[in-house]
Structure 1
Amino acid sequence: MFPECLKRLFSRSQKVKGRVVLMRKNVLDFNNLTSVVGIVGTSKSLIGSAVDGVTSLMGKSVCIQLISATKADANGNGIVGKKAYLEGIIASIPTLGAGQSAFNINFKWDSDMGIPGAFIITNHMNVEFFLVSLTLEDIPNQGTMHFVCNSWVYNYEDYKQNRIFFVNETYVPSETPGPLVTYREAELQALRGNGTGKRKEWDRVYDYDVYNDLGNPDSGENFARPVLGGSLTHPYPRRGRTGRKPTKKDSKSEKPGHVYVPRDEIFGHLKSSDFLSYGIKSLSRSFLPAIKSIFDLKFTPNEFGSFEEVRELCEGGIKLPTDILSKISPLPVLKEIFRTDGEDNLLKFSIPHLIQVNKSAWMTDDEFAREMIAGVNPCVIRLLQEFPPQSKLDPSVYGDQTSKLTEEHLKINLEGLTVDKAIEGQRLFILDHHDVFMPFLTRLNESKSTKVYATRTILFLKDDGTLKPLAIELSLPHSGGQHLGADSKVILPANQGVESTIWLLAKAYVVVNDSCYHQLISHWLNTHAVIEPFVIATNRNLSVLHPVYKLLFPHYRDTMNINALARQSLINADGIIEQSFLGGKYSMEISSEAYKAWVFPDQALPADLIKRGMATEDSSCPNGLRLVIEDYPYAVDGLEIWDAIKTWVQEYVSLYYATDDAVKKDSELQAWWKEVVEKGHGDLKDKPWWPKMQTLQELIQSCSTIIWIASALHAAVNFGQYPYGGFILNRPTLSRRLIPEKGTPEYDEMTLVNLSVIEILSRHASDEIYLGQRDNSPNWTSNSRAIEAFKKFGKKLAEIETKISERNNDPNLRNRTGPAKLPYTVLLPTSKPGLTFRGIPNSISI
């Protein structure tokens, strides 16, 4: 309830003075980056100017009515006050952000109306604006009351019910002031919608659908793709429902086109301009064929004939004739891709971090192994606990897929140990991509452009704490049929002659596997796709007044929108991923197969490390875990981040839930979790590993895991992509040929050719918000203890940042920098904008 002191403040009739902060449409609109006139005007008309980014509202265009949290009408609902209108502009407010405008508003509020707890806003204009906040300022001797809004407000006729915003108090459902209960429930119902109809731009509805919009069968059989989700064959997390019409040839598939995203999930202007600028550039190698047809350029941008060509691309760019520049200038989007400052370079990329110090270290065995624990995909390597490695593929379908590796292959490099002794001493590790790709190899290798193996790589932990590769197994389906097992060859390390080239090529095949696994599973599936159901369920079931909503909301920023953009351009039929990675048209099916083995509790870093055999529980260690590889940069840094997240979550959640019984009795919380499991991840709903959400610890662990996935895990597998993969020879994404057999001319003329490439976004936007930070409003909650706990979280992250930097300067920790002299910085919590190879954003926003 509201404090007694506030109640006394409203014991007499008075005017309540307020301040409204908003932004014009042309400041933030993702779909309209060009300038539009201001939002000002009388009802259904526009006047005004965009001069200095300040808009003046006059007349009766925007109306606000306060709602009492302590006084109810005859129906038990909070009393609604008289209409008040925005009055003019506050000339200078130092705290206002770019593009924000503040307006005075005065409310008539009688003493018998109690204390405000919500308000209704009505927009009479025919253009939307972004409502930032309302502050009630002239409450004597008390300070202010804050209503943090951050929402688009359209014309009132676009809504079926009033737009309502709540004060920044925090209540579990049972503690909600009685007069606000109906309003709280009505707002959630509006966000759920009715599950029918095509969603409109101004809608705010969060609902579920399967991935049935990746293909377009109406354009031909080659563009048809299976529906992912809703079946045991192709299970998948759910995405946001748009309600578009089905295709003509397949009633289960949805027509492509504009993808609806709830309006408040759409990028702001700063984020979108960064996405356009760097996103288009990073995808431009696939975009170049279209440009080629316009400009008749005489080169093949998807092919490289030598290492030198790749280096020239990184260090100098592809040359563009000067007469082409005149053709670019009329095309604003292309100007984001091409340099137009007088130089004749086309696509001049940043030099990838990997080759800034040493241009050849990437080729060494040491760097090849180091990147498995400190590279862009450091969460797949596992302890080898059986030899030879076993397959989990169904032998009735795939035959015997047991590894052909033998002790003879390994013992030459085991420093005197037997395989059994090395396993017993936890010295052997495996990067195993065999089972993931083997079921798809027959279909993949039928393609003229793709030839690939399924790989297993065995590594040995040396006395100095670094890893060295011992052997690589390359496998194909048996030539007599896939059901007969695998045809495998084992490649051993070599440093001279043709054998050294074969070894280098074998490592490339491993990286091709790993690049595909990383992009489709570690990155897309395990962060982007699995988090979207949580975003949807949270908005549908947890009120903005709910403590768990306030905890999780920052970690959902922009995720639905970036996922929608991915479905349009990246993971769609013939999109960037299909064109550039070995999975081709089966890419999303590969990720669907991997989802069958996804386990939510195992996404927590400690559980993941234990499951992979990379750590054991040990109460004497700082994190309660003993790492098998002590110098494992991803795990060492990650565990500190994980502990900070969990400590923050525990301190925050404990402010609102004192007992397990309180968790059980929270109706919104229980509805939220039920929907996450049964709808959002409905294809896995019967799995026994789902937390039951019956205890405080289950709530803490689940929320910590969600935050970890959306922040640190995503950062770890995303922001190292260009630093490591920008030099494509280090992270090839496709292989065009198999290894030639001995005796063939190709065997003696071995070289790496035709490795296709993609530059993936690794940049931070200029308006990014990082872990331990919140948006521009410090008034996200009125709970002082919650604010103090959050400040403590931020200080802990700052300490971790210092410790990571110190570790990177410790010469005894050889895995921190490796032969390439590339420090592992990706889990440093903060960052400046741009390509920094560091920084943990709150959410999956790119």
Structure 2
Amino acid sequence: MIYTVTVATGHQWFAGTDDYIFLTLVGSEGNSERTLLDKPLYDDFERGAVDSYAMTVSNDLGEILLVKIEKRKYWVHDDWYCKYITIKTPQGEYREFPCYRWIADDKEVELRDGKARLPRDDQTQIAKQHRRRELEQRQKFYRWKEWHPGFPLSIDANSHKDLPRDIQFDTEKGVDFVLNYSKAMENLYLNRFMYMFQTSWTDFADFEQIFVRISNTISDYVMQHWQEDFMFGYQFLNGCNPVVFEKCNKLPDNFPVTTEMVDTSLERNLTLEEEIKEGNIYLADYKILDGVPANATDPCTMQYLTAPICLLYNNLRKKLVPIAIQLKQEPGPENPIFLPTDAKYDWLLAKIWVRSSDFHVHQTVTHLLRTHLISEVFGIAMYRQLAAVHPLFKLLLPHVRYTIAINTKAREQLICECGLFDKANGTGGGGHVRLVQRTMEDLTFQSLCFPEAIKMRGVESKESLPYYHYRDDSQMVWDAVLGFATEVVNIYYDDDEAVQTDTELQAFVKDVFVYGLKANKSSGFPKSVKTIRKLIEYVTVIIFTTSCQHAAVNFGQYDWCSWIPNAPSTMRRPPPTEKEVVDLEYIIESLPDRGRSCWHLGAVWALSQFQDNELFLGSYPDEHFIEQPVKEAMENFQKNLQGISNRIAERNKDKKLPYYYASPDRIPNSVAM
């Protein structure tokens, strides 16, 4: 009996191997001999190669249940990336066995065929035992660890090289923060300023020395208009942190703004209270920063944080503009409310303080916690609890690609004690840790459900806020993801009972709740999923968070934060306690010095880059699914996403401020940067 075995090796760097590869076919009627795959006079398993072999077996093996791969050292340890194996039986039937993983050291790997199966679908002892062994093995390698008290649990690995080979980057150099920052400093001609590390700039124009060489359309526009109120307000809608403002239904007790203060800013001949009732007033409150310690790692430079409250007005042109700013949470004589009618530099510095506070909340809460760390929780739980043949594993795997690796690298170099984060950020030295801890206390599952999050903030009305492109574009993507998740889930789950009896799914959801959310019941994260509808929502949250939400808050960092005065990463003078004391020199002395400006610019540039081999939303080159209905669902998903991209491109034509961060052709599948 002749079985034809075809083996495909990946195209990644160093994917090929010179090691010995042995294969055993495990069938329902028996097993083949352990066979060395070797073609004399040929180099087997070269990068990108597809090699075929004839295996002679004395008896019909029946249905091929498993393919067992063994790699044995030839000369030195040589990792191998196997894409897939196909088997042609003596009867001419083809069976596909997806692999798409690294086989490292002297390892043995057992592959199931490509058909997705729920636990209940496995009827043979061989299949059940394989499933159990696979998960037991994974749980040994994917262990939870508390990196810092109050954080979601993360992977138990101290460095990138400690991770399981399957989730490491193909080349670690591409995600080495120290190396990337050094390259950024060199490429952006910033090193020439480092010898003046702690010296101040002379005026706003002086910042152009590190800006003009790398400017682009949006950052140029920001540089030219950053002092204007309309630009300040626009960033709440479509900047890199478009999730912090909300409709104001009642002024906070600690923010005593009166109609008399803001009357000249109101355009509808209404009192402030009437404007609030009409839904024209919005609020950005940074109270989460209150009491967070400022960076004190540099004894030569004092750094400061504050927790401002900003009142925004939706004017007759449907544009948000600031009308009142209080720089600290507790009102009083030494905490004045700054207004557009104040002296030019008083009002400008108040807005700068809000922008700096927004930068800190964006970096640590919106970006780090709510996309990176939460996505890692989903990824670890997936590897621990879902077998490779589970349809949800196949569906979610592309959306956690490299996430655990990038987060491990960040903990190793970026947000650790004395890491790169401490060099330029006012929340370095531990403030960023406090921010994550505080946010975790209030983080909810509902806030990750995009439509619900928008409604909770009261910003769902397109009539009131017609230029809120983040909301509108992200809603289109959410709907497309929801439709895709619905199609795939309905292929494998016939009814709610199928969901309830899926032991792996329930273990996955429980792992997320217990370890990711520390079993915090008030978070609203489910500890089990009981209906198809809730499962679809859960899957949609994962895919949306790891793709669209991350893209929307990550890839605009250089556009909006490269002009330093618009997004200061730290402030070197405390917020003013009275009016009419601020001049240009006061502001320049408050802004980051030359060295910290350079570090900041290098950081936002590096963090805004795509990976070299980025895979964008809806792109699934690794064929984990072999079923035609799923492939059709993928095609529908891709068509929907392309339609969204086209609509966004059409809207952006000739726009001075195009918004494209939630365009599917710019949304990576996963959090990998």
TM-score (norm 1): 0.72
Structure 2 partner of 1:4: none
- Give how far 1:470 is off: 0.8
Residue 610 (str. 1) matches residue 512 (str. 2): no
SS at match of 1:188: helix
Residue 240 (str. 1) matches residue 191 (str. 2): no
- Give how far 1:99 is off: 3.6
Distance 1:749 1:729 in 2: 13
Structure 1 partner of 2:21: 62
Aligned-pair RMSD on alpha carbons? 3.2
**Do the aligned partners of residues 677 and 282 (structure 1) sit closer, same or farther apart at CA in structure 2, a change above 3 Å counting?**
farther
Within 5 Å, give how 1:234-273 maps onto structure 2. 235-242=150-157, 260-269=162-171, 272-273=173-174
Distance 2:644 2:618 in 1: 12
Residue 824 (str. 1) matches residue 670 (str. 2): no
SS at match of 1:470: strand
Within 5 Å, give how 1:261-410 maps onto structure 2. 261-269=163-171, 272-273=173-174, 279-281=180-182, 284=185, 298-300=195-197, 303-316=200-213, 350-356=214-220, 359-387=223-251, 389-390=252-253, 402-410=254-262
User: Which residue, 426, 439, 462 being the options, matches 1:594?
Assistant: 439
The unaligned stretches of length 5 or more in structure 1 are: 1-13, 29-37, 42-60, 72-78, 194-204, 212-226, 229-234, 243-255, 317-349, 391-401, 479-484, 617-625, 811-816, 831-838
SS at match of 1:690: coil
Distance 2:671 2:637 in 1: 20
- Give how far 1:795 is off: 0.3
Question: Which residue identity is paired with 2:452?
Answer: A
Deviations 1:497-536 (A, max 9, x none): x811121111110011000000000000001111212111
Residue 459 (str. 1) matches residue 312 (str. 2): yes
Within 5 Å, give how 1:412-561 maps onto structure 2. 412-415=264-267, 416-433=269-286, 435-440=287-292, 448-475=301-328, 487-494=334-341, 499-561=343-405
Question: Which residue identity is paired with 1:384?
Answer: C
Distance 1:486 1:707 in 2: 48
Asked if the contact 1:188–1:543 (Cα under 8 Å) also holds between the matched residues in 2, the reply is yes
Q: Tell which has more relative contact order, 1 or 2 (C-alpha 8 A, sep 6+).
A: 2
SS at match of 1:682: coil
- Give how far 1:738 is off: 2.7
SS at match of 2:497: helix
Asked if the contact 2:285–2:308 (Cα under 8 Å) also holds between the matched residues in 1, the reply is yes
Residue 106 (str. 1) matches residue 93 (str. 2): no
Structure 1 partner of 2:7: 20
User: Which residue, 605, 611, 617 being the options, matches 1:771?
Assistant: 617
SS at match of 1:638: helix
Within 5 Å, give how 1:552-591 maps onto structure 2. 552-585=396-429, 586-591=431-436
Asked if the contact 1:438–1:477 (Cα under 8 Å) also holds between the matched residues in 2, the reply is no
- Give how far 1:693 is off: 0.3
Asked if the contact 1:475–1:486 (Cα under 8 Å) also holds between the matched residues in 2, the reply is no
Asked if the contact 2:367–2:553 (Cα under 8 Å) also holds between the matched residues in 1, the reply is yes
Structure 2 partner of 1:209: 145
Structure 1 partner of 2:511: 675
- Give how far 1:84 is off: 1.9
Question: Which residue identity is paired with 1:708?
Answer: F
Structure 2 partner of 1:656: 492
**Do the aligned partners of residues 714 and 748 (structure 1) sit closer, same or farther apart at CA in structure 2, a change above 3 Å counting?**
closer
Deviations 1:781-812 (A, max 9, x none): 121001101110000000001111222238xx
**Do the aligned partners of residues 182 and 468 (structure 1) sit closer, same or farther apart at CA in structure 2, a change above 3 Å counting?**
same
Asked if the contact 1:25–1:129 (Cα under 8 Å) also holds between the matched residues in 2, the reply is no
SS at match of 1:768: coil
Question: Which residue identity is paired with 1:239?
Answer: S
| Larger deviation, residues 641-650 vs 799-808 | 799-808
Distance 1:797 1:703 in 2: 18
- Give how far 1:123 is off: 1.1
Structure 1 partner of 2:671: 844
Structure 1 partner of 2:69: 121
**Do the aligned partners of residues 686 and 377 (structure 1) sit closer, same or farther apart at CA in structure 2, a change above 3 Å counting?**
closer
Identity of aligned residues (%): 24
User: Which residue, 175, 182, 194 being the options, matches 2:121?
Assistant: 175
Question: Which residue identity is paired with 1:595?
Answer: M
Distance 2:422 2:573 in 1: 18
- Give how far 1:614 is off: 1.0
Question: Which residue identity is paired with 1:108?
Answer: T
Distance 2:519 2:636 in 1: 39
Normalized per residue, the structure richer in helix is 2
**Do the aligned partners of residues 687 and 464 (structure 1) sit closer, same or farther apart at CA in structure 2, a change above 3 Å counting?**
closer
User: Which residue, 94, 111, 118 being the options, matches 1:165?
Assistant: 111
Residue 729 (str. 1) matches residue 565 (str. 2): yes
SS at match of 2:435: helix
Distance 2:173 2:222 in 1: 35
User: Which residue, 84, 91, 97 being the options, matches 2:35?
Assistant: 84
Distance 1:751 1:192 in 2: 54
- Give how far 1:745 is off: 7.4
Distance 1:100 1:441 in 2: 52
User: Which residue, 18, 23, 31 being the options, matches 1:40?
Assistant: 18
SS at match of 1:823: coil
Asked if the contact 1:609–1:615 (Cα under 8 Å) also holds between the matched residues in 2, the reply is yes
Deviations 1:97-147 (A, max 9, x none): x94233333223455421213211111114132332333254478663222
Question: Which residue identity is paired with 1:380?
Answer: V
SS at match of 1:311: helix
Question: Which residue identity is paired with 2:142?
Answer: Y
SS at match of 2:312: strand
Q: Name the count of aligned residue pairs.
A: 656
SS at match of 1:824: coil
Distance 1:743 1:470 in 2: 16
SS at match of 1:426: coil
**Do the aligned partners of residues 119 and 405 (structure 1) sit closer, same or farther apart at CA in structure 2, a change above 3 Å counting?**
same
Structure 2 partner of 1:44: none
**Do the aligned partners of residues 799 and 142 (structure 1) sit closer, same or farther apart at CA in structure 2, a change above 3 Å counting?**
farther
Deviations 1:456-492 (A, max 9, x none): 11111122221111111111668xxxxxx89521111
**Do the aligned partners of residues 303 and 82 (structure 1) sit closer, same or farther apart at CA in structure 2, a change above 3 Å counting?**
farther
**Do the aligned partners of residues 441 and 589 (structure 1) sit closer, same or farther apart at CA in structure 2, a change above 3 Å counting?**
closer
SS at match of 2:56: strand
Distance 1:476 1:823 in 2: 35
- Give how far 1:602 is off: 1.9
Distance 1:66 1:377 in 2: 53
Distance 1:752 1:445 in 2: 21
- Give how far 1:417 is off: 1.6
Distance 2:86 2:650 in 1: 47
Question: Which residue identity is paired with 2:70?
Answer: T
Distance 2:194 2:403 in 1: 37
- Give how far 1:671 is off: 1.3
